[in-house]
C-alpha cells in the first residue's frame, strides 16, 4: 500500500464492531510519520490498525520488538510520548489513550527503528550474559568513573527524560470510603454493585478509561445479555448513587497499612494539554475500611526460542484488539496455547476474517471446542520451536508429537501461556503469594482481615466464578464495614467454565539464549540457568543477578516463567522456590504526581512575621530560619556590601537605638494553680519564686543532661507565666512541656497555650530606647526605679492598644521588648521607626542581633547544639540543688564532669585583620593538625564593629584556665589558620551595668 | 504625640482583591476572611469541665462541645480544641473575655488569642471537593457536617476547621504566620472550580 | 498508617510524632541509682509483638497518647490518652 492510503485508511481496522468511534478520525504521529486512529483507541491499537507491530528495540540486545499486550503489563511497546518539556519516556503504548495530534517516538534505537546499529549487541549476546556488569566492570577501580560508568550510561536506559521543567501541575487529594474496589472487570463490578446496594460508601478504581476489564473483549453473555450491556447497566446503577464514586484512568499503585491506598488518576493524560486550571494527574490517598482487590489476571507468555519478534502477541491481547478495538492484528495466525482460553482467540481471529493456520497445543488432546473451529489445523502434543522474520514475524517452526518439525508461514503468533492472578497489590503489606498447583499459578497469601481478593486475582478463573466471587466479596466487605447485607443473586454467565488444563510450558522450553523470559530487560532462559549454575539459587538473588522482573515490568509478565525455570534447573518445585516480593508502585508513578503542588518554594509552608510587608518595602534581605522568613539586614543607601549594613545596625544599637522584630521566638502561656510546679520541674533553675511582674532567664535541659533550650520566663499573674523559647526550638519545647504535663505530671492543674502568633514582639534596644518608648506608651513610667531590668508589665500604647512590655536585653544595652496584638505589628514598627529616626534609630536584622549577642557572649543555636551542658556553657550557677527537674540526674554521668571537657570561651584574632570562621577547630600553637591534638571548636564568629575585628565563641578544653593564652583556629576546608587569643565569653560590658541602667 | 490609634492589618492584606478567579463558568467556591473577631483560649481547670460548660450555657445559652465540634449562639461560638480546651469566638462587641471571667470565675484559664489566627470562610457547591485536596480527614456529610470541627493539617500547615452550614460553609483557621501559604494552597485547590473573593 | 486518637478519632500518621516505648518509668528521684536513669533514658527493648508506644498528636489535639501496636503485623490494638494513665510514682510526688 502507498503512504497515501495509509494516511486515510486504517488497513487492519475491521469494518464494524469494537468500542471505537469511526465517525471521528484522529491524526497522530509515530516516529515522524502521520497516521489516523479513532476515539476509543490506545496508541497501541491505533498503530496495529495501521499495521505497525514494530514499536521499539529491546534494552540490551536492541532486538526489534512489537506490541505484546493490551494493558499496563506491556513490557515491549514503551515509547516517548509528547515533545519538549512534556516529553515522557517509557510510556506504554498499550495504555496511552489516543488524542488528536498525539506525537510518539520509539526508543532505544539509533539511527532508526528499522536499522539500529546497537543491534550488534545481539550478535555479541554471548558476551552479555547474566551478571555481565558484575563480571566485566570489576577492576581496576580507577576505571569506574572515567571509563565504565560513561560507557554503561550511554548504552543503558530506554527513553530520554525531558530536560526542561515540567510545565504541568499535579495535586493530591483524599478519599474515604467503606469499600474500595480495585478493578472493574466482572468481579470488580459485581463487588462494587453488591457493596453499594447495602448502602456503603464505595470507591471503584479502574486503570483503563473504560469500565469492564476483560469483558470489553469478550463475547460472553451475562443474565442473558451481552456482557457489555451488563457493564453499562452496572455503570449506570453506580453512577446514580451519591455514595459511590467511580474513578476511571486511576491506578491503585500501592496498598499501605490500615486501609491506606495510593492511586494516581490521569486527569489530562488523554488530552494534548491539560485545560486551564486542571491538573495533569491527581494523586489520591484513599482510606478504605475494606478493600476488594479485583485486579484480574495477566496472561503468561510462553518461553520458546525467538519468542520475541514483532507479530508475536499474547492470545488475550489479540482478543482485545479484535473485539474491543476492531483490529485484525494479522492475516495468517498460529495460536500456541497451553491454556484453553486460547480457543476464544482462535474464534475471535476467525470472526475477524483472519486465517488460523495452526493451533499448537503441547497437551495430548484437544477439548470439545476444537471441533468447531473450521479449517484450522490442530496440533496436539506439539510445541513451537522457533520463529523467523526480521522486523515482523514471517513464520513459525512447529515440532509435532512425533518430533517432526514443520514450518508454517504466519504474520501473527498468539501465545496463551496460562494466567497469573494480578496479585501484586496483595503482597504490598508483606504477604507472600502461595503456589497453587491445581491452577499452576501463585495466589494471594493470607491477608489482613480488611483486604479481600475476588475473581481471577484470587485464582478463581472464569466469568461465572468472577461474578459469584465479586458479589460475595462486595457483600462481605460492606457487612464488615457495618452495613446490612442485601441478598443478591449473582448474575448468570453464559461463558463456558474455564478449564485451565494448564500444561506448564517452561518444562517444554529449551534453555535457549533467544528464549526470552523478561522482554523488557532482555533476560533469557539461558541467563537464568547460568545464574543458577553460578550459585544464585535463591529467587531474590537470581532476580537481581539477571535483572529479571526489574524496572517497570516488575515481574508482571516474566515473574512466574523466570522462577519456574529457576525451579526446574535447581531441581526444586515452584512452591519450594517461592516468588520475589512485589512492592509499590504497581505501575510507574510520575514524581510530579507524588510531589503534587509541593514543588519549589511550596515544598514547605513559609511563615511570615507581622512586620514582613514593612521589611519588604524597606528592601530587607530575608533569611530562612526554619519555616520563617526573617529580615537579615536592611541595606542602606551607598552601602557596598552586607557588612556595612550590619555594622551600621550594630552601631545604632550600641550608640542610639535599634528595633528588631523578634516575633518568631516561641511564646507559651502556662496557667493554673500548678503552673509554677510544672515550670520548676521543666526548668533547671527555679521559676516559682518569681514575683508577679518579674522575669528571669530560664534554662531547660533534656533528660539526658544536655541543654535543650534557653529563654525567658515572666510571671504575668499569680497563676500565669509567659515563656519564650528560641525560634528554632519553639515546637520542640512546646511538645516537651506537654509531655512533662500529660505523661509525667498529669495530676497538675495547669494549661499550656502557645501564644507565639498572638504578639508582634519588637525588641527596642540601645541607650535611647527608653526615650523612644516613652513616646508610645500610655503614661507608663519606664524609669529603672519603677520598671527595673527583668520586669514585665501589661500596659496600653498609642491610646489604648493592649501591649506587654518586658525589660530584657539580648544585646547588652538598655533594652525592652514590646508585644502588641499581631495585627498591629505593621503599624507599630512604622510608628517606632518614624518616631525613632530623629533619635538615630536603625531597624536591625538577625545578623546584627548575632553580632550583638556574640559580643555579649550569650549562647544561641551554635552553642545550644544539643551536645553541650550547663557547665559547658558556664551556666552551672543556674542549676538548682533544691528540687528534681528534667535532666538533673544524668548530669552525674562521668563524661559530663571531666575536667578536660571543652567550655565556652571567646576568641579574638591576634592580628586584627584576620577573619574567624565558625567551624574552625582549636589547636595549640605549633601542634600538628591531628585529631588527638584537637582542643575544641568555634561555634560562632562575627565581625564586631564595636571592637574593630572579628570575634568568636566556641568551646575549649580547660578554657577557663586559658584566658589570655594564644591558640590556633584551624579550618582547612576554608583555608583558615589564625592565631587567636582566648577570652571570657562576654567581651562587652561584662558586669551588665548598661542593661540595668 | 503619636497617632491616636494604630491601624490593624490582616495577614492577608493585599491578597484579598474581590473578584472572580480560576476557571471560567460558575463559581464553585466563595472565599472571604473573617475579620474583627475576638479569639480566646479557654482551658478548664482540673475537674471543672462540667461546671464550666454549665456556667457557659447559663451565660451564653449553649454548652461547650465535649467532642470535636462547635456550639454557637449568635456571633459567639465555642470550638473544641483538645481535651479540656476550647476556642471561644466573639465579635468585637460581644465582650467575650469579660463575660467569661464573670460567669466562670476559677473554672477556666483564659488566654487572649485575638489576631493570632487567620480565619477564612469557604463556601459553595465545590467547597467540600476542594477541601478534600487540603485536609487528610473525612469531610463526607455523614461524618463531618454542620457543627463538626477538627484540628488537622492542610499542606503541612496546622489548621482548625469547622463547618457552619450545609451549603457547605467551612471556616478554616491557621496561625497568622502561615496565612499567605494557606491562602496560596486554598486558591490553587479551588482554581479548577472557579472561585470568588469577597472583601 | 492510621492511628486512633482517643479524642479526634482515626487520623493519618502525618499528624503524629513518635517518641518511643511507653514502658520505661521515670525513676523516683534524681538521686536514684544512675543505672536506673540510664535504663530509663537510653535503653529500650525491641519487642516482637504487642508494644506500648508514645505518640503525640502534633497536628491535632496535641495530646500524648499511648498506642498499643503489634510490631509484627502493624496491627493497632488500641490507644489511650497518656494523661488518663496512672502517673509514675516519682513525678506525681514531685514538689
pLDDT, tens digit, 9 for 90 and up, residues B52-91: 999 999 999 999 999 999 999 999 999 999 999 999 999 9
Q: Are B83 and C60 a contacting pair at CB < 8 A?
A: no
Quick one: pLDDT at residue A502?
56
Strand (E) positions, chain B?
19-21, 29-34, 37-44, 70-73, 76-82, 85-91, 108-112, 117-123, 149-154, 157-165, 169-175, 195-197
Residue B81 Cα, gap to closest chain C Cα (Å)? 6
Confidence of residue A281 (pLDDT cuts 50, 70, 90): very high
Cβ-Cβ contacts under 8 Å between A and B: the total is 155
C74 neighbourhood in chain A, CB within 8 Å:
257-258, 429
Q: Which residues of chain B make contact with C5, given a CB cutoff of 8 A?
A: none
Window 804-823 of A, Cβ < 8 Å to C: none
d(Cα A247, Cα A260) in Å, to the nearest integer? 16
Residues of B in contact with C63 (CB under 8 A): 82-83
Among candidate residues A932, A907, A927, the one with its CA nearest the CA of residue A919: A907
Contact: C2, A747; criterion CB under 8 Å: no
ipTM field = 0.97
- Counting as low any pLDDT under 50, the low residues of chain B are 1-2
At residue A2 the predicted structure's pLDDT band, cuts being 50, 70 and 90, is: very low
Contact flag B83-C14 (C-beta cutoff 8 Å): no
Chains with ≥3 Cβ pairs under 8 A against C?
A: A, B
Q: Verify whether the Cβ–Cβ distance A606 to B180 is below 8 Å.
A: yes
Substitution target in A596, A708, A746, A749 with the highest count of C β-carbons within 10 Å is A746
pLDDT given at position A509: 54
Interface contact flag, B45 A672, Cβ < 8 Å: yes
Residue A735 touches partner C, C-beta closer than 8 Å: yes
Q: What is the mean pLDDT of chain A?
A: 92
pLDDT at C62: 97
Give contacts of C42 with chain A, Cβ < 8 Å.
704
Residue among A349, A314, A302, A344 at smallest CA distance from A330 = A349
* Distance between C7 CA and the closest CA of chain B, angstroms: 7
Which residues in A lie closer than 8 A to residue B6 (C-beta atoms)? 797-798, 801, 820, 824, 827-828, 831
From C24's Cα to the closest Cα of chain B, the distance in A is 25
- Chain A, window 828-857: residues with a beta carbon less than 8 angstroms from a chain C beta carbon: none
- Which chain B residues touch A820 with a CB distance below 8 Å? 6
For residues C7 and B151, give the distance between their C-alpha atoms in angstroms, rounded to a whole number.
10
Q: Choose the mutation target among C79, C82, C85 for the interface with A, i.e. most A CBs under 10 Å.
A: C82
Contact A257 C2 (CB under 8 A): yes
Total-model pTM: 0.93
Which of C40, C87, C95 has its CB closest to that of A746?
A: C87
Which pLDDT value is given to residue B172? 98
Return the C-alpha cell found at A175: 478519599
Asked if C59 lies within 8 A of B158 by C-beta distance, the reply is yes
A196-245 confidence digits (pLDDT tens): 999 999 999 999 999 999 999 999 999 999 999 999 999 999 999 999 99
A616-642 pLDDT, tens digit each:
999 999 999 999 999 999 999 999 999
- pLDDT value of residue A136: 61
Q: What CA–CA distance (Å, rounded) separates A344 from A346?
A: 5
Among C1, C34, C83, the residue with its CB nearest the CB of A258 is C1
Residues A715 and A641: their CA atoms lie apart, in Å, by 43
Whole-angstrom Cα distance, residue B64 to residue A20?
61
Q: Which residues of A touch B13 (CB under 8 A)?
A: 613
Is the CB of residue A743 less than 8 Å away from at least one CB of chain C?
A: yes
* C61 and A CB contact within 8 Å: no
pLDDT score at B2? 46
Instruction: Compute the average pLDDT of residues A472-481.
Output: 96
Residue recorded with cell 485547590: B189
Residue C8, Ramachandran bin (φ over 0: left; ψ between -120 and 50: alpha; else beta): alpha
Cis, peptide link before residue B168, omega less than 30° from 0 = yes
Partner residue facing A260 (CB), from C1, C17, C42: C1
**In which band, very low, low, confident or very high, does the pLDDT at C93 lie, cut at 50, 70 and 90?**
very low
Q: Do C59 and B137 touch (CB under 8 A)?
A: no
**Per-residue confidence band for A365, with pLDDT thresholds at 50, 70 and 90:** confident
SS3 content of chain A, % helix, strand, coil (to 5): 30, 30, 45
The B residues from 103 to 132 touching C (CB cutoff 8 Å) are: none
Residues of chain B contacting A176 with CB distance shorter than 8 Å = 138, 140, 143
CB contact under 8 A, A677 and C94: yes
Contact A191, A296 (CB under 8 A): no
Contact across the interface for B115 and A822, Cβ inside 8 Å: yes
What's the confidence (pLDDT) of residue A134? 63
| Residue B153 at interface with chain C, using a CB cutoff of 8 Å | yes
Amino acid at each position: 500500500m502507498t503512504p497515501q492510503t495509509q494516511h486515510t485508511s486504517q488497513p487492519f481496522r475491521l469494518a464494524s464492531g469494537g468500542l471505537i468511534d469511526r465517525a471521528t478520525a484522529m491524526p497522530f504521529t509515530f516516529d515522524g510519520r502521520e497516521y489516523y486512529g479513532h476515539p476509543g483507541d490506545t496508541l497501541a491499537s491505533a498503530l496495529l490498525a495501521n499495521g505497525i507491530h514494530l514499536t521499539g528495540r529491546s534494552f540490551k540486545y536492541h532486538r526489534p520488538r512489537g506490541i505484546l499486550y493490551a494493558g499496563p503489563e506491556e513490557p515491549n511497546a514503551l515509547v516517548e510520548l509528547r515533545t519538549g518539556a512534556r516529553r515522557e519516556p517509557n510510556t506504554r503504548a498499550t495504555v496511552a489513550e489516543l488524542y488528536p495530534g498525539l506525537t510518539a517516538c520509539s526508543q532505544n534505537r539509533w539511527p532508526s527503528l528499522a536499522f539500529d546499529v546497537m543491534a550488534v549487541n545481539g550478535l555479541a549476546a554471548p558476551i552479555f550474559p547474566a551478571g555481565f556488569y558484575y563480571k566485566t566492570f570489576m577492576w581496576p577501580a580507577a576505571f569506574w568513573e572515567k571509563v565504565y560508568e560513561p560507557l554503561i550510561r550511554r548504552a543503558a536506559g530506554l527513553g530520554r527524560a525531558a530536560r526542561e521543567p515540567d510545565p504541568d501541575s499535579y495535586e493530591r487529594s483524599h478519599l474515604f470510603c467503606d469499600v474500595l474496589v480495585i478493578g472493574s472487570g466482572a468481579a470488580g463490578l459485581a463487588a462494587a454493585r453488591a457493596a453499594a446496594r447495602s448502602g456503603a460508601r464505595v470507591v471503584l478504581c479502574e486503570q483503563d478509561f473504560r469500565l469492564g476489564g476483560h469483558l470489553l473483549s469478550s463475547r460472553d453473555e451475562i443474565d442473558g445479555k451481552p456482557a457489555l450491556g451488563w457493564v453499562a447497566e452496572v455503570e449506570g446503577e453506580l453512577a446514580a448513587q451519591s455514595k459511590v464514586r467511580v474513578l476511571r484512568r486511576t491506578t491503585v499503585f500501592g496498598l499501605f497499612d490500615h486501609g491506606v491506598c495510593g492511586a494516581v488518576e490521569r486527569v489530562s493524560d488523554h488530552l494534548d494539554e491539560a485545560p486551564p486550571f486542571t491538573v495533569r494527574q491527581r494523586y489520591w490517598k484513599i482510606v478504605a475500611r475494606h478493600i476488594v482487590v479485583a485486579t484480574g489476571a495477566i496472561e503468561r507468555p510462553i518461553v520458546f526460542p525467538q519468542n520475541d519478534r514483532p507479530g508475536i502477541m499474547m492470545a488475550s491481547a489479540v482478543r482485545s484488539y479484535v473485539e474491543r478495538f476492531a483490529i485484525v492484528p494479522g492475516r495468517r495466525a498460529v495460536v500456541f496455547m497451553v491454556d484453553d482460553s486460547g480457543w476464544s482467540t482462535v474464534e475471535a481471529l476467525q470472526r475477524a476474517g483472519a486465517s488460523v493456520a495452526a493451533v499448537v497445543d503441547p497437551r495430548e488432546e484437544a477439548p470439545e471446542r476444537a471441533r468447531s473451529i473450521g479449517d484450522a489445523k490442530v496440533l496436539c502434543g506439539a510445541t513451537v520451536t522457533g520463529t523467523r522474520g526480521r522486523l515482523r514475524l514471517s513464520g513459525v517452526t512447529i515440532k509435532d508429537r512425533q518430533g517432526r518439525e514443520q514450518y508454517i508461514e504466519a504474520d501473527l503468533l498468539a501465545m496463551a501461556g496460562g494466567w497469573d492472578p494480578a496479585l501484586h497489590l496483595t503482597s504490598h503489606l508483606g504477604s507472600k503469594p502461595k503456589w497453587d498447583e491445581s491452577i499452576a499459578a501463585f495466589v494471594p497469601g493470607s491477608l489482613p482481615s480488611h483486604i479481600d481478593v475476588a475473581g481471577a486475582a484470587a485464582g478463581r478463573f472464569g466469568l461465572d466464578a468472577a461474578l459469584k466471587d465479586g458479589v460475595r466479596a462486595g457483600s462481605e466487605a460492606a457487612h464488615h464495614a457495618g452495613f446490612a447485607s442485601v441478598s443478591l443473586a449473582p448474575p448468570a454467565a453464559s461463558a463456558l467454565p474455564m478449564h485451565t488444563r494448564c500444561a506448564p510450558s517452561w518444562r517444554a522450553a529449551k534453555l535457549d539464549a533467544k528464549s526470552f523470559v523478561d522482554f523488557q530487560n532482555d533476560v533469557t532462559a539461558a541467563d537464568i540457568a547460568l545464574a543458577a549454575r553460578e550459585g544464585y539459587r535463591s529467587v531474590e538473588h537470581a532476580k537481581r543477578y539477571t535483572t529479571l522482573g526489574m524496572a517497570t515490568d516488575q515481574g508482571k509478565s516474566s515473574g512466574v516463567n523466570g522462577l519456574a525455570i529457576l525451579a526446574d534447573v535447581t531441581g526444586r518445585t515452584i512452591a519450594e522456590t517461592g516468588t520475589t516480593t512485589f512492592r509499590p508502585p504497581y505501575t510507574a508513578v510520575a514524581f510530579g504526581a507524588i510531589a503534587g503542588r509541593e514543588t519549589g518554594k511550596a515544598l514547605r509552608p513559609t511563615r511570615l512575621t507581622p512586620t514582613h510587608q514593612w521589611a519588604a518595602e524597606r528592601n530587607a534581605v530575608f533569611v530562612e530560619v526554619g519555616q520563617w522568613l526573617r529580615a537579615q539586614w536592611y541595606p542602606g543607601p551607598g552601602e557596598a556590601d552586607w557588612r556595612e549594613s550590619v555594622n551600621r545596625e550594630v552601631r545604632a544599637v550600641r550608640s542610639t537605638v535599634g528595633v528588631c522584630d523578634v516575633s518568631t521566638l516561641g511564646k507559651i502561656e502556662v496557667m493554673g494553680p500548678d503552673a509554677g510546679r510544672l515550670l520548676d520541674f521543666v526548668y533547671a533553675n527555679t521559676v516559682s519564686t518569681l514575683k508577679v511582674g518579674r522575669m528571669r532567664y530560664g534554662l531547660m535541659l533534656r533528660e539526658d543532661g544536655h541543654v535543650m533550650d534557653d529563654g525567658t520566663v515572666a510571671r504575668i499573674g499569680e497563676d500565669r507565666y509567659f515563656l519564650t523559647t528560641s525560634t528554632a526550638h519553639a515546637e520542640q519545647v512546646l511538645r516537651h512541656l506537654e509531655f512533662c504535663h500529660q505523661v509525667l505530671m498529669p495530676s497538675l492543674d495547669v494549661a499550656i497555650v502557645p501564644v507565639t502568633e498572638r504578639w508582634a514582639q519588637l525588641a527596642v534596644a540601645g541607650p535611647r530606647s527608653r526615650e523612644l518608648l516613652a513616646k508610645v506608651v500610655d503614661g507608663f513610667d519606664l524609669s529603672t526605679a519603677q520598671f527595673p531590668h527583668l520586669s514585665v508589665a501589661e500596659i496600653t500604647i498609642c491610646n489604648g492598644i493592649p501591649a506587654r512590655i518586658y525589660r530584657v536585653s539580648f544585646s547588652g544595652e538598655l533594652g525592652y521588648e514590646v508585644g502588641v496584638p499581631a495585627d498591629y505589628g505593621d503599624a507599630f514598627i512604622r510608628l517606632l521607626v518614624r518616631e525613632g529616626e530623629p533619635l538615630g534609630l536603625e531597624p536591625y536584622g538577625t545578623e546584627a542581633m548575632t553580632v550583638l549577642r556574640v559580643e555579649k557572649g550569650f549562647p544561641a543555636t551554635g552553642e545550644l547544639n544539643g551536645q553541650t551542658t550547663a557547665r559547658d556553657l558556664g551556666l552551672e550557677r543556674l542549676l538548682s540543688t533544691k528540687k528534681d527537674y528534667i535532666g538533673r540526674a544524668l548530669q552525674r554521668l562521668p563524661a559530663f564532669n571531666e575536667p578536660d571537657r571543652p567550655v565556652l570561651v571567646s576568641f579574638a584574632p591576634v592580628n586584627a585583620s584576620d577573619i574567624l570562621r565558625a567551624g574552625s577547630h582549636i589547636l595549640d600553637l605549633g601542634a600538628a593538625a591531628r585529631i588527638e591534638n584537637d582542643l575544641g571548636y568555634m561555634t560562632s564568629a562575627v565581625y564586631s564593629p564595636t571592637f574593630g575585628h572579628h570575634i568568636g565563641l566556641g568551646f575549649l578544653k580547660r578554657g577557663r584556665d586559658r584566658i589570655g593564652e594564644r591558640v590556633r583556629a584551624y579550618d582547612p576546608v576554608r583555608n583558615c589558620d589564625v592565631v587567636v587569643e582566648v577570652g571570657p565569653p562576654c567581651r562587652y560590658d561584662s558586669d551588665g551595668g548598661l542593661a540595668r541602667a | 504625640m503619636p497617632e491616636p490609634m494604630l491601624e490593624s492589618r490582616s495577614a492577608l492584606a493585599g491578597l484579598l482583591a474581590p473578584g472572580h478567579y480560576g476557571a471560567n463558568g460558575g463559581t464553585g467556591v466563595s472565599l472571604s476572611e473573617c475579620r474583627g473577631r475576638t479569639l480566646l483560649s479557654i482551658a478548664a481547670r482540673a475537674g471543672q469541665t462540667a461546671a464550666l460548660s454549665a456556667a457557659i450555657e447559663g451565660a451564653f445559652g449553649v454548652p461547650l462541645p465535649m467532642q470535636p465540634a462547635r456550639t454557637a449562639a449568635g456571633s459567639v461560638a465555642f470550638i473544641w480544641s483538645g481535651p479540656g480546651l476550647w476556642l471561644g469566638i466573639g465579635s468585637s462587641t460581644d465582650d467575650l473575655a469579660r463575660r467569661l471571667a464573670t460567669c466562670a470565675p476559677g473554672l477556666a484559664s483564659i488566654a487572649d488569642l485575638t489576631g493570632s489566627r487567620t480565619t477564612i470562610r469557604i463556601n459553595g457547591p465545590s467547597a467540600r471537593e476542594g477541601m478534600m485536596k487540603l485536609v487528610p480527614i473525612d469531610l463526607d456529610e455523614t461524618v463531618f457536617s454542620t457543627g463538626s470541627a477538627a484540628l488537622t493539617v492542610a499542606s503541612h500547615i496546622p489548621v482548625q476547621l469547622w463547618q457552619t452550614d450545609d451549603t457547605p460553609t467551612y471556616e478554616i483557621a491557621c496561625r497568622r504566620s502561615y496565612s499567605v501559604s494557606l491562602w496560596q494552597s486554598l486558591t490553587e485547590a479551588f482554581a479548577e472550580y472557579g472561585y470568588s473573593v469577597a472583601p | 498508617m492510621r492511628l486512633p486518637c482517643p479524642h479526634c478519632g482515626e487520623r493519618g500518621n502525618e499528624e503524629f510524632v513518635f517518641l518511643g516505648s511507653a514502658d520505661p518509668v521515670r525513676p523516683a528521684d534524681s538521686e536514684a541509682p544512675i543505672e536506673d536513669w540510664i535504663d530509663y533514658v537510653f535503653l529500650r527493648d525491641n519487642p516482637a509483638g504487642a508494644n506500648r508506644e508514645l505518640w503525640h498528636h502534633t497536628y491535632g489535639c496535641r495530646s500524648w497518647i499511648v498506642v498499643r501496636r503489634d510490631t509484627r503485623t502493624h496491627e493497632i490494638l488500641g490507644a489511650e490518652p497518656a494523661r488518663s494513665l496512672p502517673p509514675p510514682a516519682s513525678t506525681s510526688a514531685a514538689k
